[in-house]
Structure 1
Amino acid sequence: MLETLEGCRKVLNQNNGRETAELLSIVILDLRMKLKGIDNADLRALCDEMLRSAGSEPPPPSKQTQDQPRRPLLRVVK
């Protein structure tokens, strides 16, 4: 199944379907996490550790980004 999804993502990228390919990447990540038994908290901890190791903290929000509504986080639902 993963191979098929990755093939679809490749075709989408080649045919200017970038946004759909990005959504499919989220689906692929979600499926891989389920197969490997990784939950959202584990993924968040990994991302936080990678940021700390790289020595880069997320920049504080600027006035411009504070005034703009935040884009909702995407989550794959069944």
Structure 2
Amino acid sequence: MLHSDEQLQSVLETLEECRKVLNESNGRETAELLSIVILDLRMKLKGIANAELRALCDEMLRGVSSDPASRAKPTQDQPRRPLLRVVK
């Protein structure tokens, strides 16, 4: 598994360099697509599930809401679930 992670890390570094080149050469749309691939690969390397990312995004969107009343604060009966898991 370690060898596989090392290979994926190498691929990640290459993809990040490609994204940098694309951004510098006005390939913004392609660079944005590559950003999605990079995120997916980072999530795999860190063991973050799609559901965890979705929960984080949902929480962030709730915090951006323009209607303060719609920002449901967790009560003692409804504890706030953790947004991220610590991965070492």
Relative to the length of structure 2, the TM-score reads 0.58
> How many Å separate the matches in 1 of 2:48 and 2:56?
11
Structure 2 segments unaligned to the other structure (5+ residues): 1-10, 68-88
1 or 2 for the larger relative contact order (CA 8 Å, sep ≥6)? 1
Give the unaligned 5+ runs of structure 1: 58-78
Which amino acid is the alignment partner of residue 7 of structure 1? E
Aligned-pair Cα RMSD in Å: 1.6
| Equivalenced residues, count | 57
Normalised by the length of structure 1, the TM-score is 0.65
Following superposition, the deviation at residue 40 of structure 1 comes to 1.2
Instruction: Show CA shifts across 1:28-59 (max 9, x none).
Output: 000001111111111110001111123348xx
Partners of 1:54 and 1:29 in 2: CA distance: 22
Tell me, in whole angstroms, the C-alpha distance in 1 between the residues paired with 2:49 and 2:60.
17
